Structure 1
């Protein structure tokens, strides 16, 4: 029996304008600056050719969106972060995890880091300065600002290759970051 596709879920209430939203809008609450969030890292686009360093593409939102999906590390720990990564990223593409502090993300120019548990428990969205282009090239200043933002996140996030992709839990170093 065919299943129907899942609906696209937005972290915004219908009336919120994605061009102007920031922390404090009538939407999901902001994630505290002292919390660690984790990005699922997949290849080939998220890493350099040797698979040792994050690339800005790891933080580019999907076309037409301004949201970068992450999981809150302290929701249920490092093992949960890996469990969600393996559930969301094709096994052939999953490579590891990257962690960063919300305060550093905000200082890099994010408009907000929003708690969005309706997507999955512990989920959060980093709201970028501008949406990723969908059809038409955006103005040059928006393209440059989004690229600089992604480059700043590369500097703030710590990347950890998964030392044992077959393991059920996370066997790498602790993902939590100190503020």
Structure 2
């Protein structure tokens, strides 16, 4: 496959791997699904242009490296909606082709806590991300490949 355009177009679908118990409450996304790990300032997503099967298989592969996380499905959102929330979406092929990062407006050092005002803004930001992403529970989580509806939005 030819390299992807490093510019992530506004119309591109972004795919977030969803795991339990961290990202779901019942069958609904929690704002924690869009909160970067404490040691990071960016959130990993997969560019759907790689294909639905690729997104699922890569997500399962990446989660296999994590502890206490169980793959549940995928969430999809449009790049333009993420950018409207004052976040950046950047191609990040250093890890794998099709990888991108969502960088929030409040990037910081993990050693320095945010002020209460910034924490409140971030809390609202994560809640709005939930509104812009659609959760797709995986109908066949134990099987390679995506068997749910198309992930392209």
What's 1:150 paired with?
A: 126
What's 1:115 paired with?
A: 91
Shift of 1:131: 3.1
8 Å Cα contact 1:63/1:132 also seen in 2: no
What's 1:174 paired with?
A: 150
Shift of 1:167: 1.5
Q: Which structure would you say has the larger RCO, counting Cα contacts within 8 Å and 6 or more residues apart?
A: 2
1:83 to 43, 57, 71: 57
8 Å Cα contact 1:66/1:129 also seen in 2: no
8 Å Cα contact 1:64/1:131 also seen in 2: no
Shift of 1:145: 1.6
Tell me the TM-score normalised to structure 1 length.
Answer: 0.76
Q: 1:132 to 1:144 in 2, by over 3 A?
A: farther
Structure 2, gaps ≥5 residues long: none
Higher helix proportion = 2
Counterpart CA distance in 1 for 2:70 and 2:49 is: 25
Counterpart CA distance in 1 for 2:133 and 2:109 is: 24
Question: Root-mean-square deviation (CA), in Å?
Answer: 1.8
What's 2:83 paired with?
A: 106
What's 1:95 paired with?
A: 72
1:163 paired to 2:143 = no
1:46 paired to 2:23 = yes
- Greater C-alpha radius of gyration: 1
Counterpart CA distance in 1 for 2:78 and 2:107 is: 22
| Number of aligned positions between the proteins | 146
1:130 paired to 2:110 = no
| Alignment deviations for residues 56-107 of structure 1 (CA, whole Å, 9 cap, x no partner) | 00000111422000000012x1000001011001395100000000000111
Tell me the TM-score normalised to structure 2 length.
Answer: 0.88
Structure 1, gaps ≥5 residues long: 1-27
Counterpart CA distance in 2 for 1:29 and 1:128 is: 19
| Alignment deviations for residues 104-123 of structure 1 (CA, whole Å, 9 cap, x no partner) | 0111221x100011111100
Higher strand proportion = 2
